[in-house]
Amino acid sequence: MKILLYFLLLSCSSLAAFAQLPAIGIKGGVNFATMQASGTQANVVAGTNTIANSGMVTSFNFGVFVDVKLGHFSLQPAVNFTGKGGTFNGFTGTLPNGSVSQVSTKYNLYYVQVPVNIVYYISFVVGEFYIGAGPFVGMGVYGRKNLSADNNNNGTPTAISSSDKITFGDNGDIRSDEYGAGAVAGIKLKGGLLFNLNYDMGLSNVAPNQAGNTFKNHVFGASVGFVF
């Protein structure tokens, strides 16, 4: 990840030497996040050896970006705070009391993410339409895991739930670093107001070092912003 960050910074500095003066923008909005998981029966999230797609978690995003114009193209690095995660229902897992039951697990994950997109602009009457894509790297900074189940305790159904803070790292709940690819599209009006859509596809496995387990984040976002 350090090598990728170095390459992105070098690319930004090299291209900026030939570009117009950069513009600075801000944006924020809503995320619709899911996770794709596969794993072994020991994993609460993926109770089979097949791929499982999670339910959706609604979260948020906000960030700042720099737009370095190169004719109709621009280089657009950004720093974003973005929410990810997913919900998994009906998988076999271990409850806080040590018993095994069918559980529902909800992950709310929050990342500081650095994308660098190459964007193409098309002018029209009231502004510009744009579309672009590029890589991103991210680091998990906060998260929570909520677990719930109806446990059959000696014939008596008992509702059990827990909410725990996510620990990030190779020996934690979720790996702290992530990388992937993203796409953006939107409209920027002449006054600076913009309406943006984005899709981020995680390419790295964010599951910790557990044999056979894989988690990957997917996020669709919509935001409103302003370019100064």
Domains in the chain: boundaries: 2-20+29-89+107-144+169-227
φ and ψ at residue 16, rounded to 5 degrees: -60, -25
Residue type (1 letter), 226? F
Pick the CATH number of 2-20+29-89+107-144+169-227 from 2.40.50, 1.10.10, 3.30.1760, 2.40.160: 2.40.160
Q: Is residue 111 within 8 Å of 136, Cβ to Cβ?
A: no
Compute the radius of gyration of the chain from its Cα atoms. 20
Q: Which two tokens stand for residue 97?
A: 């009391």
pLDDT in the model for residue 109? 98
pLDDT at site 88: 84
Residue 125 has a pLDDT of 95
- Who contacts 216 (Cβ-Cβ below 8 Å, separation ≥6)? 35, 36, 37, 201, 202, 203, 204, 205, 206
For position 94, what pLDDT does the model report?
A: 57
- Measured CA to CA, the distance from residue 111 to residue 50 in angstroms comes to 27
Residue bearing tokens 């709310």? 108
Given this model, what pLDDT does residue 48 score? Answer: 46
Tell me which residue of 166, 104, 120, 107 sits closest to 141, measured CA to CA. Answer: 166
* Burial class of residue 127, CB neighbours in 10 A (0-12, 13-18, 19+): middle
Backbone angles phi, psi at 43, to 5 degrees: -90, 125
What is the reported pLDDT for 174? 93
Per-residue pLDDT of the chain (228 residues; tens, 9 = 90+): 555 455 555 555 555 555 578 999 999 999 999 998 876 544 544 444 456 678 999 999 999 999 999 999 999 999 999 999 999 876 655 555 556 566 788 999 999 999 999 999 999 999 999 999 999 999 999 999 998 876 655 555 567 788 899 999 988 889 999 999 999 999 999 999 999 999 999 999 998 876 667 889 999 999 999 999
User: What pLDDT score does 224 carry?
Assistant: 99
